[in-house]
Amino acid sequence: MKITDLKYAVLEGFPTIRITTDFGIYGLGQIAYFKPYLEPLFKLYKPYIIGRDPTNVQRVLLRIRRLGGFKPWGAAVSAIEIALWDIAGKAAGIPTYKLLGGKVRDRVRVYTTRNAINGPVAIPKGNKPEDFAEMAKARMKLPEGFTIMKFSLAANIMEPGTVYAEPHDKILGIHSGPIAYHAFHITGHMTEVGLKHSIAIVEAIKSVVGDKIGIAFDCGPRMSLAGAMQLAKALEPYNLLWLEDMLTGDYTPYNNVESYRLLSESTIVPIHTGEQVYLREGFRELLEKHAVDVIGPDPEDVGGIAELKWIAEMADLYDVLIAPHGVANGPVGLAAAVQVSSTLPNNFIAFEMSNTKIPPRTIKEEAQYKYDLYKPTKKELFNGLDNLKVVNGFINVTDKPGLGISLNQEAISEYLGEDNKFLD
């Protein structure tokens, strides 16, 4: 079997690749919806993989993996890796998890974050504690029955007067989501007002969910080390699952390992980072120095699903837990996360539920958010979404070949138009 082409299209906002073969088998890969600017990287990598046997996944990846980097620059490599595992599973007639060593669990736990797959629970109306309490109540009513929820805190919700810093200059016409996601947040050392505000938000959420739901918080990045220590210490009574990216983190091209080690040693609250890290080499020092308690590699940034499994196995040797990232990864990313998470050792907590549609960004948009994963229509672009339903906080692992999803070619032809070459 040989790779014959790599095709690219944006399907309902998600940059998607289709790797084709001379056997008529294709594999799917995807990157986060806010990364369409990475299309040139697929054009760069394409000549390196054409003519190669896609089932020799690692042999193909050795030709391109050195060309990636910390988020977002590892995303294209990761998408190609995932597509190759999809082909390998389909060619063998078995689910991809069997090629990764076999599953150790029949269902995988997922956690919900700012995304909403079934209704308006993504965006708080404001940054007041009562706004977060209202959002927590809405999430508690979701039919998915999530047992873990993650919310924003600290640097993610800071306003003037809560940190000793000034807001960054905004670039007119540029949304903060793409590329420099955190560039417009007010970050720095917290004031006493900011500290009390963050604690009040945690208290408000806990008053709603009690001890039945695990709670985690995304806190940055770019808090000061002293401020991170102070906040973590103050939150110890609330039995949190983790505090994420307090120092370096999302879209930071390095790990501040020594600072993370000092932070982790200063508190009993589990400290989490890793969504921006590329390859296992990027995690080595974090693990060897026990700098964090939980890591969160993203399968669409870290180098793919086999890379994520190797990292999980390595982390297990150091008693470090793993909770993979992936909120923006689309239906292909969700299917890939299910496959690999079923194979991870017992340091696995849960993975972040991926959007299968682009989520709303405002309260007004949210009121119009009608998509329901539980009621796929004939116009859905991907077949197999019914195998990705969340039931009581878990997704059952499908035994369909490859990743378990395929293209609805009729719907895609209508969506892209007659002149598209994606399905050729």
> Per DSSP, what are the bridge partners of residue 208?
none
Q: Which pLDDT score, from 0 to 100, does residue 143 have?
A: 87
Q: Same fold for the domain at 3-93+407-416 and the one at 107-403?
A: no
pLDDT given for residue 184 in this prediction: 46
User: 332, 305 in Cβ contact below 8 A?
Assistant: no
CATH of 3-93+407-416, one of 3.40.50.1970, 3.30.390.10, 3.55.40.20, 3.40.50.300: 3.30.390.10
> What is the average pLDDT across 187-212?
93
Overall pTM > 0.85? yes
Q: What is the pLDDT of residue 405?
A: 97
Residue 365: the pLDDT is: 57
CB under 8 A, 24+ apart: contacts of 37-43: 37/178, 37/179, 38/72, 38/75, 38/76, 39/8, 39/15, 41/73, 41/75, 41/76, 42/6, 42/8, 42/17, 42/76, 42/79, 42/80
Any idea how long the chain is?
424
Mean pLDDT of the chain: 90
The full DSSP string for 139-168 is: HHT-TT--SEEEEE-GGGT--TTSBSS-PP
Long-range contacts of 207-211 (CB under 8 A, 24+ apart): 207/133, 208/133, 208/136, 208/137, 208/140, 209/136, 209/140, 209/149, 211/239
The whole-angstrom separation of Cα 275 and Cα 32 is 12
Residue 213 and residue 146 in contact, taking contact as beta carbons nearer than 8 Å: yes
Report the pLDDT averaged over residues 352-363: 76
Region 297-326: mean pLDDT is: 98
- Work out the end-to-end distance of the chain between its first and last CA atoms, rounded to an integer number of angstroms: 18
The three-state secondary structure class of 306 is: helix
The verdict on domain 107-403 having CATH code 3.60.9.10 is no
Who has greater pLDDT, 360 or 6? 6
In sequence order, the 6+-apart residues with CB closer than 8 A to the CB of 69 are 253, 278
CA distance 288 to 285: 5
The domain limits of the chain are 3-93+407-416, 107-403
**Residues 77 and 301: beta-carbon distance below 8 Å:** no
According to DSSP H, which parts of 210-327 are helical?
Answer: 225-234, 257-265, 284-288, 305-317
367 pLDDT above the threshold of 70: no
Q: How far apart are CA 368 and CA 236, in angstroms?
A: 38
In the predicted structure, residue 180 carries a pLDDT above the cut 70:
no
3-state secondary structure of 383: strand
Q: Encoding tokens for residue 164?
A: 């000793």
Interatomic CA distance for residues 95 and 97, integer angstroms = 5
Residue 349, pLDDT above cutoff 70: yes
Weakest mean pLDDT among 220-224, 242-246, 247-251: 220-224
Output the pLDDT for position 159.
74
Q: What is the average pLDDT across 69-83?
A: 97
Mean pLDDT throughout 330-353? Answer: 97
